[in-house]
Amino acid sequence: MAFSNMSSRERTIVIVLAVIIVVALAGIGVLAAKLVSDDGEPTVVATALPGGTITPVPPPPPEPAVDTPVTNVGQPVEVVRAEGVGPGSPVIIAAQALHPGRRYRIEIAAANGAKVAINGSWSQAAVATQGQPAAPQIEFFDGVTPHEIEVVSPVSNPEMWSVSVSAGPANILGEQPVLVVIIWDVTEAQ
């Protein structure tokens, strides 16, 4: 519908909505500018509370990723671990890089060791050394914790390989423990 064909009430509503959107975007821009200083570091904001003071502490610098050598021969090695933020919340590991020639296993468990019905999905992506991408593989699962999934590279000689996992409780009305997802390197464990 063209603006000229609208009634005066419809025009007023469209104009008010446009103003609200512009003001909201401007506010988001101002907030983003306040949160990031000129050097790109987050600005720490502190306010005094009655009866005490708060000392601002800047966040620690990010640590570079380190490729740790396998030292536990015969034992699985933890590659990455993600834990739910609270009971019943989903757990996600996104695009975790894997190494060619290694074997991996995904484990979904309850932090308290309980047996809980879960469901979710996992996927992997890979590019062969010739530069040809493998078709994305997405798998859905239902199970009970602890639940394990063996991960095998979708191509025989990957140059790049990654896996993503998301899991949550299957029964939202039942027990809601904190879930943990771990990707293990099991190459040396067999």
pLDDT at position 50 over 90: no
The rounded distance, in Å, linking the Cα atoms of 47 and 119 is 43
Set out the domains of the chain in order of their start, with CATH numbers. Answer: 1-63 (no CATH), 77-189 (2.60.120)
Q: Does the pLDDT at position 45 exceed 50?
A: no
Q: So what's the pLDDT on residue 37?
A: 47
The answer, yes or no, to whether residue 60 has pLDDT greater than 60, is no
Q: Are 163 and 171 in contact (CB under 8 A)?
A: no
* Residue-level pLDDT at 82: 92
Number of other CB atoms surrounding residue 113 within 10 Å: 10
Lowest mean pLDDT among 38-42, 103-107, 131-135: 38-42
- pLDDT band at residue 49 using 50, 70 and 90 as cut-offs: very low
The string of pLDDT tens digits covering residues 13-29 is 777 777 677 667 666 76
Mean pLDDT of 88-105: 88
pLDDT of residue 75: 85
- Per-residue pLDDT, averaged over 23-36, amounts to 63
Which of 25, 30, 28, 56 has its CA nearest to residue 43? Answer: 56
Over the stretch 139-166, which tens digit does the pLDDT of each residue have?
Answer: 899 999 899 999 988 888 888 888 899 9
